Amino acid sequence: MSGKITTKIQDRIALVTLDNPAKRNALSAAMWQELAAVFGRLSADTELRCVVIRGAGQDFAAGGDIAEFPEVRGTREKCLHFHQVTVGNALRAIDQCLHPTVALIRGNCVGGGLEIAAQCDLRIAAHSARFGAPIGKLGFTMAHTELANLVARVGPAVMLEILLEGRLMGADEAYRKGLVTRVVQDGDAEEEALATARRIAAGAPLVARAHKKLVRRLAFRAAPLDEGEIAENFAFLDTEDYREGLRAFLAKEPPEFTGR
Amino acid sequence: MSGKITTKIQDRIALVTLDNPAKRNALSAAMWQELAAVFGRLSADTELRCVVIRGAGQDFAAGGDIAEFPEVRGTREKCLHFHQVTVGNALRAIDQCLHPTVALIRGNCVGGGLEIAAQCDLRIAAHSARFGAPIGKLGFTMAHTELANLVARVGPAVMLEILLEGRLMGADEAYRKGLVTRVVQDGDAEEEALATARRIAAGAPLVARAHKKLVRRLAFRAAPLDEGEIAENFAFLDTEDYREGLRAFLAKEPPEFTGR
Amino acid sequence: MSGKITTKIQDRIALVTLDNPAKRNALSAAMWQELAAVFGRLSADTELRCVVIRGAGQDFAAGGDIAEFPEVRGTREKCLHFHQVTVGNALRAIDQCLHPTVALIRGNCVGGGLEIAAQCDLRIAAHSARFGAPIGKLGFTMAHTELANLVARVGPAVMLEILLEGRLMGADEAYRKGLVTRVVQDGDAEEEALATARRIAAGAPLVARAHKKLVRRLAFRAAPLDEGEIAENFAFLDTEDYREGLRAFLAKEPPEFTGR
C-alpha cells in the first residue's frame, strides 16, 4: 500500500492528513483518488465549518509518486487520464469543497503538494517550509490543467521562476511572493492553522460558504453573474444568522450562529 | 443627520472628507449618495489635478452604517437597490473620476471603507491603519458588485483571507499583500498623501487622465481597444503639453503644463 | 550611430547587451530594430539554453531616445508605426523567444527599459537599480500596446502608481511590489544573473521552452487550449530527456539532458 489519506473531525473542524511519510507524503494514484473521495464526503457534511489539510510527519507533500509514473503515465492516454481524472478530481474536490479550507504547510510543499495547497483558501506555513516544482530536472512538463490553476492563483511571474529555475524557495520568500497567507515559527504552525480554522468557524457558515464560492466565481470565470447567482448572493436576507448577526452587533454581544 | 461629505479645494487638489466621526465615519445611505454627487462635480472640474479622500478624526471609514440596515436593506428589492444604486453609484463615481485619486488612510479602513480605498488610484496608509471586512460576523455576504471590484484589484487569495478569517490586518501586512501603495508613520500620513497629490499634479494633466482611464480599460475589460480608443491614446500628439514636455526635457528645464 | 545591440554566446547562454551608454542605454529606433533581429536569430538557435539581457555600463536602459522623438514620432502615423512595429516587434521577439530569458538590471530601468525587463521571464536586480516610467513629465501617454503588456504583468495598482506619481522606485520596493524576481548587492548582480541562467540551463530544455510558452498562453489568453495545444503539453512523453529524467531521479543521479 503506497500511502493513505486519514481524516479526523473535532469541534466541527476536519483535519485531513496526506500520509505517506516514507516518501515525504508523495501522492500515489491511490492517494489522489482517496483525496477526491474524502473531500467529497466532507463537502457533503453541512455540520462542518472548516477543513485543515496537512502532511504526516515533517512534510506537507513532495509531489507525485514518481516511482509509479512509468506505470500510471506510461502512454499519452494514461497520462491524460491520470492528470485530468485522477489528479483533476482531487484538486477539483478541494477547490469546490463547501467549507473553507486551510493548508498547514511544514517541510516540502512541492509539485502536487504545491497544487493542493494552492487550491485551499488559506495557507499557513512553518518558517522552514519549502516551495517549488523542479520538474524541469525530471524531464516533464506540468499538466496544463494543473498549471492553469497555479497561474491563476500565483501569477505568471512566480510560476515562471518556479518552473524555469527549478529552485525551492523558503517560506519567507513564498510569503513575499504571495504564495502563502502567513509564516510562523515551526513549532507554532499547527496551532496557528487550527486557530485560523477556529476564527473561520466562528463566523456565519452560510456566509463563509457563499464568500468562498463567489470569490472563485468572480476571479476565475469572466461571464457576468446570471439572475440565479445574483439571487444566491442575497440569500442571507432570509437566514436566521443574518438576524442574529445584526442583533448581536447592535446589542454589542457575540453572535451565536447556527448555519440556518 | 447621520454624517456628511465635505470638500475643500486648494492648489488644484480637492480634499474630500468622509465625516461621521461618532460612528468612525461609517457610511449612511445619505453619505453614499452625497459621495456620488461630490465626485460627479469634482470630475467635471477640469481645473483640478488630483483628489485626496480621507476620513474625519481617527479613522478612514468603518464600513456601512449598520444601524440603518434593517430599514435601508430590509427586503431583497431594497437590498439590491442599496448596493447596485446607492453604493454602486458612489464607487463608480470614484472609479471613473476624471482626476487621479489618493486615499489617505488612518485608523479603520473596513468594509465600505475598504471598497472606497480600493477604487482610488493610490493608497497612502498610516502605520496604525487597519484593514478588513469582518462581515461573516454580521451574518451577511458582501454584495457581488462590490466583491467583484475588490477581487479584481486585490486578488482572490487576499479577499478569501479577509472575508473568511474576519481578522483586521495592520498596515505593514496590507502593504506586503498589495492592499496599499505605501505605509508611513502616523504623524506623516497626511503630509505624504498631499505630497503624493502634488507629485501627481506636477505632471501633464491630460496624460494622467489618459493613463488612469487606460490602465482600468486594459486591466478590467477583456475586449481589444477599438479605433476610437486607440486614437484617444495618441491624442497627446496634438497637445501643447507634449511640445512643452519635449522642449523642457531637451532644454533640461522643468516643464510648465497647462492641460491643453 | 546612436547605440547598438551586442551579443555574446558562452556555454549555451547568450548575453545580449543594450549598448548606448552615453544616453544610459536609451533605445534609438535603430536599437529597437536590432533588438528584434537579434532575438529572432537567438530564438532560432536550438543549441541555446537561456538568454541574459543587460545594459552596457551603469544602467539597464533609460527608455526611448527622446531626442529622436520629434522625427520618428512626429505624426500620428509615424507614432503608431513606431510603437506597433518598431518597438512592438522587439518586445514581441523577447516575449516569444524560444529560450528562457533573464534580465540583469543595474541602474536605471525606465520606460522602454522597464518594458523590456517585463517581457523577460526572470528579473535579477542590483540593489541600487531604479524603476519607473515618468512620462507624465514628458507630456505623453504610454502606447496602449506597451501599457497592456505592463498591466498584464505588473498589475493595475503598481502601474497607476508608476505612471501617475512619476517617481522612480528602488529595487527593494520593486521587489515587494512584484516587479523583480530578486534583489542582490550591486557587485553580485551579474554573477547572480549568470548563476540563474545556469540553473535554467541545467534543466531539460524542451521542458523549459514548453513551460515558458504555456505559462504565457494560460496567463494572457482566455480561450481554452485546443487539441493541438493539449497534445503539445504532453509531447515530453516521447522525448529522450523524459526517460533520462526519470532514470536519473530513480537512480539518484544527476540527469544529462540533450534537448531531444
**3-class state of residue B84 by DSSP:** helix
Per-residue confidence (pLDDT) for residue B12, from 0 to 100: 97
Q: Are residues B144 and A242, on separate chains, in Cβ contact within 8 Å?
A: no
Q: Report the residue of A68, A110, A165 to disrupt the C interface, i.e. the one with the largest count of C CBs within 10 Å.
A: A165
Q: Report the residue of A82, A135, A141, A220 to disrupt the C interface, i.e. the one with the largest count of C CBs within 10 Å.
A: A141
Per-residue confidence (pLDDT) for residue B1, from 0 to 100: 58
> In this complex, which of B122, B153, B215 lies closest to C147 when CB atoms are compared?
B215
The rounded mean pLDDT for chain A is 96
Q: Which residue's C-alpha cell is 489519506?
A: A5
Q: Are residues C144 and B215, on separate chains, in Cβ contact within 8 Å?
A: no
Per-residue confidence (pLDDT) for residue C2, from 0 to 100: 81
Q: pLDDT for B32-52, tens place per residue? A: 999 999 999 999 999 999 999
Q: Are residues B164 and A233, on separate chains, in Cβ contact within 8 Å?
A: no
Dihedral angle of Cα A236, A241, A245, A247, to the nearest 10 degrees: 110
The rounded mean pLDDT for chain C is 96
Per-residue confidence (pLDDT) for residue A70, from 0 to 100: 86
Q: Report the residue of C51, C215, C249 to disrupt the A interface, i.e. the one with the largest count of A CBs within 10 Å.
A: C215
Smallest CA–CA distance from A176 into chain C, residue: C176
Q: Are residues A143 and C175, on separate chains, in Cβ contact within 8 Å?
A: no
User: What whole-number percentage of chain A has pLDDT above 70?
Assistant: 100
Nearest 5°: CA angle at C196, between C194 and C198? 70
Cα–Cα dist A128/A171, whole Å: 6
Cα–Cα dist C235/C216, whole Å: 18
Per-residue confidence (pLDDT) for residue C74, from 0 to 100: 86
Per-residue confidence (pLDDT) for residue B74, from 0 to 100: 87
Q: State how far residue B67 is from chain C, nearest Cα, in angstroms.
A: 33
Q: pLDDT for C96-130, tens place per residue? A: 999 999 999 999 999 999 999 999 999 999 999 99
Q: pLDDT for C205-219, tens place per residue? A: 999 999 999 999 999
For residue B179, list chain A residues with Cβ-Cβ distance below 8 A: none
Q: Are residues B204 and C143, on separate chains, in Cβ contact within 8 Å?
A: no
User: What does the block give as the cell for C163?
Assistant: 505612471
pLDDT band (50, 70, 90) for residue A1: low
Q: Report the residue of B214, B220, B221, B257 to disrupt the C interface, i.e. the one with the largest count of C CBs within 10 Å.
A: B214
Q: Are residues A70 and C203, on separate chains, in Cβ contact within 8 Å?
A: no
> In this complex, which of A66, A143, A165 lies closest to C246 when CB atoms are compared?
A66
Q: pLDDT for A175-216, tens place per residue? A: 999 999 999 999 999 999 999 999 999 999 999 999 999 999
Per-residue confidence (pLDDT) for residue A198, from 0 to 100: 98
Per-residue confidence (pLDDT) for residue B193, from 0 to 100: 98
User: What does the block give as the cell for B68?
Assistant: 440603518
Instruction: Spell out, as residue ranges, where chain B has pLDDT lower than 70.
Output: 1
Cα–Cα dist C138/B202, whole Å: 11
CATH of C4-201, one of 3.40.50.800, 3.40.640.10, 3.90.226.10, 3.40.190.10: 3.90.226.10
Per-residue confidence (pLDDT) for residue C66, from 0 to 100: 87
For residue A142, list chain C residues with Cβ-Cβ distance below 8 A: 211, 214
Smallest CA–CA distance from B122 into chain C, residue: C161
Per-residue confidence (pLDDT) for residue A99, from 0 to 100: 98
- Sort C22 into a burial class: Cβ within 10 Å, 0-12 / 13-18 / 19+: exposed
Q: pLDDT for C134-187, tens place per residue? A: 999 999 999 999 999 999 999 999 999 999 999 999 999 999 999 999 999 999
Per-residue confidence (pLDDT) for residue C1, from 0 to 100: 58
Is the confidence at residue A90, as pLDDT, over 90?
A: yes
- Sort C142 into a burial class: Cβ within 10 Å, 0-12 / 13-18 / 19+: buried
> In this complex, which of B143, B165, B177 lies closest to A233 when CB atoms are compared?
B143
Chain B residues within 8 Å of chain A (Cβ atoms): 66-67, 69-70, 73, 75-76, 79-80, 134-144, 147-148, 151-152, 155-157, 159-161, 163-167, 176-178, 222
For residue A216, list chain B residues with Cβ-Cβ distance below 8 A: 156
Q: pLDDT for C56-82, tens place per residue? A: 999 999 999 988 988 899 899 999 999
User: What does the block give as the cell for C210?
Assistant: 514548453
Cα–Cα dist B87/C71, whole Å: 49
Residue A232 amino acid letter: E
DSSP string, chain A: ---EEEEEEETTEEEEEEE-GGGTTPBPHHHHHHHHHHHHHHHH-TT--EEEEEESTT-SB-SB-GGGHHHHTSSHHHHHHIIIIIIHHHHHHHHT-SS-EEEEE-SEEETHHHHHHHHSSEEEEETT-EEE--GGGTT-PPPHHHHHHHHHHH-HHHHHHHHHH---EEHHHHHHTTS-SEEE-GGGHHHHHHHHHHHHHHS-HHHHHHHHHHHHHHHH--SPP-HHHHHHHTGGGG-HHHHHHHHHHHTT--------
ipTM over 0.90: yes
Q: pLDDT for A127-179, tens place per residue? A: 999 999 999 999 999 999 999 999 999 999 999 999 999 999 999 999 999 99
- Residue B134: phi and psi, rounded to 5, are -80, 55
